[in-house]
Amino acid sequence: MARRRGLHRPVVLLLTLALVGGGVYTAVSFLQRSETLVSERCTAELGSRTAELATDQAVNASLITAVAVQRGLPPRAATIALATAMQESKLRNIGHGDQAGPDSRGLFQQRPSQGWGTEAQVMDPYYAANAFYDALVKIPAYESLEITDAAQRVQRSAYPEAYAQHEEMGRFFASGLSGQTPEAVHCTLRSPDAAGDTAQVATELAQAYGPLAATAEGQTLTIEASGAQAWSVAQWAVANAKGLAVTDVAVAGRSWSRAADEGWQVSDAADGEVRITVSPAVES
């Protein structure tokens, strides 16, 4: 009987190793599957309330707001612009119009036939945002107007009351992306599937904000900025993290990490600069 028990030991050991190996495989498989199940989105928080956008919508919202910052316009201008673009195009750069405006195009559904520019121009989000603000700033005291009134004076819509339903979203994202409210915008994202490029980040930033003092070292781009501008740039980087493979953003004692998915956390980030880190080469 003692000999038989001895024979059992290797079998039990092998079974144990198989179970452990199977458990590891199952855990890895679960993690891989759970990564694909992540619901990617961007959130803007103001007090206890939140608004959400899809990641592609957040990219367009960040550009529209950055153009307002570049022009020295108040967050209210960006709020009006975001609410308008959400109603007109769902904050997506669409290349078609509708029955009321068959030649309408772009984020704001601007019509070349009504003097907004060529089709190629209004399909350029940067041009479209500037064209919208060009019209908005001509309206006397636009900052004090209701969203519906200000948007309607620019757009001449057949449904002016519809803009009001997007005011809260516009206000929340404009407040964060303009830097008026630090730590407001964060995104839930899957891991990057490609390497990031600091030169591309710098190029996109320069178009959105105009010239910025920036230096690259390795996978990190450091931008000289402080106050509201620093927080605007930082939250722009988070909103663009999916397309630009951004993994970490640090600014003014706070940091956002793509991997952690915990919003903004306390860090040792220095004042006067924004550090944007992109993914290194991804192993296949």
pLDDT value for 93: 96
Residue 245 host element (H or E): none
Q: Are 49 and 172 in contact (CB under 8 A)?
A: yes
Tell me what the mean pLDDT of segment 72-97 comes to: 95
| Residue 94 pLDDT exceeds 90 | yes
Q: Where are the alpha helices (DSSP H) in 156-226?
A: 167-177, 198-209
- The pLDDT value recorded for residue 281 is 77
What integer pLDDT is reported at residue 173 of this predicted model?
98
Query: What pLDDT sits at residue 64?
Result: 98
Flag whether pLDDT at 263 surpasses 70. yes
Tens-digit pLDDT profile for residues 33-81: 455 666 999 999 999 999 999 999 999 999 999 999 999 999 999 999 9
> What are the structure tokens assigned to 18, written together?
């198989």
CA 276 vs CA 187, 204, 218, 237, 249: distances in Å? 15, 13, 11, 7, 5
* Cα diameter, the chain: 99
Least Cα distance to 239 among 188, 169, 181 occurs for: 188
Amino acid at 249: V
pLDDT at 80: 97
pLDDT score recorded for residue 18: 45
- Looking at the predicted structure, is the pLDDT value of residue 32 above 50? no
Q: The pTM is what?
A: 0.85
Domain extents in the chain: 43-177, 190-278
Helix, strand or coil, per DSSP, at residue 209: helix
pLDDT band at 112 (very low <50, low <70, confident <90, very high): very high
- pLDDT of 261 reads 87
* pLDDT for the residue numbered 91: 98
Flag the least confident range among 30-39, 122-131, 212-221, 263-272: 30-39
108 contacts 123 by C-beta, under 8 angstroms = no
pLDDT per position as a tens digit, 142-168: 999 999 999 999 988 767 788 999 999
- The mean pLDDT of the chain is 88
Q: Could you identify the residue written with the tokens 């690259």?
A: 216
